[in-house]
Amino acid sequence: MHHWDLGALLPSQANTERSAMATTPTGKPTPEYVLGHDPAEIARLEQQAAVLAPHSRVILERAGLGPGMRVLDVGTGVGDVAFLAADLVGPDGSVVGLDRSEVALARARERASERGLTNIEFRSGELQGWRSDEVFDVVIGRLILLYVDDPVVTVRAVADLVRPDGVVAFMEYDMAAVRSIPPLPLVEQVRGWVLDGFTGSGHDPELGVRLAAILSEAGLSDVGSVGLQTYLPPGSPIGPAMAAGVVRSLLPALEAHGIATAAEVDIDTLEARVRDELAGDRTVFAPPALIGAWGTT
């Protein structure tokens, strides 16, 4: 998702990314997807993806993506991670983006056409039971496992789509890493809304911290992991926009779970209030840390 997409706090996503996998191979009920899929959420995810792109590229490179590889991007959403993969594998490689949201896929195809990409395609489908005649070298996903019932079972299912000695790589947030330096009351309040909103909806806002352990438990070998965090300088508009955007998407869940009322949040003024609070000299804002982990089948 989107998903932080902060998809979570700040951005969050889950990148319509997250929207892709609302069911899992367990057949059990999944945590509710709390951010929605309307045009405003898709736009927020695209904005979030631009912030996440440099870190995501580093993680994909560390995972071993390179020229000529065949890549499956699960929960591709509007295609941002798939586009990064397409650039890394080059014209001799190929990328398939999988998502269940036709709205997100339509936008992904439009964006791929705008970029003139010929080594990428987008397919509609659920991860559960999805099969292809292709054998992939790498399966990737960003801000996906946060929204499934059992991340370990999901990773095992994904690993079945990869050739022997292939790579599985995922990226998730550590939303608890969000902070301002020095600490500021409104930023702390927003952080609390986001953490409580995701927890109350059945999601683990610190899933990224456990990502390497999840891949190991799923049976992957040679597991590696890295966490990357952005530090936004005083006056940057990015942090306030991300924070307000994710809280806006999360607001129905905040109200439903009794975490905050619309009046308390006052969403129409939230971005400006966060911006004013962060405007002080030498004030730094740190969005959620993006943590990547990868392993071989």
30-34, 48-52, 139-143, range with the lowest pLDDT = 30-34
Which residues does 262 contact at the CB level (< 8 Å), separation at least 6?
Answer: 251, 255
Q: What's residue 158's pLDDT?
A: 92
pLDDT at 48: 67
- At 43, the pLDDT band (50, 70, 90 cuts) reads low
**Alpha-carbon distance 65 to 58, whole Å?**
10
How much is the pLDDT for 15?
Answer: 37
Ordered by where they begin, the domains of the chain are: 15-296 (3.40.50.150)
State the amino acid at position 52 in one-letter form: L
Binning pLDDT at 50, 70 and 90, where does residue 5 land? very low
| Position 46 pLDDT exceeds 60 | yes
The region that residue 162 occupies, defined by phi over 0 for left and psi between -120 and 50 for alpha, beta otherwise, is: beta
Which tens digit of pLDDT belongs to each residue from 249-277?
A: 899 999 999 999 999 999 999 999 999 99
Across 260-277, b (16+ Cβ under 10 Å) vs e yields: beeeebebeebbebbbeb
Measured CA to CA, the distance from residue 117 to residue 139 in angstroms comes to 19
Residue 240 pLDDT grade (very low, low, confident, very high; cuts 50, 70, 90): very high
pLDDT of 148 above 70 = yes
Residue 34 has pLDDT above 70, yes or no: no
pLDDT of residue 74: 96
- Alpha helical stretches, state H, 64-140: 80-89, 102-115
Q: How are strands ordered across the β-sheet holding 162-174?
A: 120-124, 94-99, 70-74, 136-142, 162-174, 289-296, 221-228
Kindly state the average pLDDT of the residues 199-213. 95
- Average confidence (pLDDT) over 127-139: 87
Give tens-digit pLDDT for 100-125.
999 999 999 999 999 999 999 999 99
* Residue among 42, 6, 54 nearest 287 (CA): 6
pLDDT of residue 41: 62
What is the percentage of the chain residues whose pLDDT exceeds 90? 74
